Amino acid sequence: MFNKNIKLVLAVLIIGLAVWQFTEGNIGNGIMYILLASVFVFLYFKNELILLAFLQLRKQNFDGAKKWLDKIKNPEAALVKKQQGYLNYLNGLMVSQTNINEAEKYFKKAISLGLSMNTDLAMAKLNLAGIAMTKNRKREAQALLTEAKKLDKHNMLGEQIKMMQQQMKKVSIPKQQFGKGVRAGRGGRRF
Do 83 and 167 belong to one domain? yes
Distance separating alpha carbons of residues 77 and 87, to the nearest angstrom: 13
pLDDT for 14-38, tens place per residue? 999 999 999 999 999 999 999 999 9
Tens of pLDDT, residues 125-161:
999 998 988 888 888 888 888 888 888 888 888 888 8
Residue 68 confidence (pLDDT):
92
Please indicate, yes or no, whether residues 113 and 167 belong to a single structural domain of this protein.
yes
Alpha helices of the chain — where are they, by DSSP H?
4-24, 27-45, 48-58, 62-70, 75-78, 81-95, 100-113, 118-134, 138-151, 158-172
88-92 average pLDDT score: 92
Q: Percentage of the chain surpassing pLDDT 70? A: 88
Question: In the chain, pLDDT over 90 holds for what percent of residues?
Answer: 41
The reply to whether 68 and 149 lie within a common domain is yes
Residues 85 and 119 in one domain: yes
The domain containing residue 26 runs over which residues?
1-45
Question: Are residues 52 and 17 part of one domain?
Answer: no
In a domain, 166, yes or no: yes
| 161 in Cβ contact with 129 (< 8 Å) | no
Nearest to 49 by CA among 86, 14, 12: 86
180 within domain boundaries? no
183 domain residue, yes or no: no
Averaged pLDDT score across all residues of the chain:
85
**Residue 179 reports pLDDT greater than 70:** no
Q: In terms of domains, do 107 and 165 share one?
A: yes
| Sign of the dihedral through C-alpha 85, 121, 106, 66 | negative
**pLDDT of res. 172:** 62
| DSSP summary character for residue 2 | -
71 and 84 inside one domain: yes
Is 70 in the same domain as 98?
A: yes
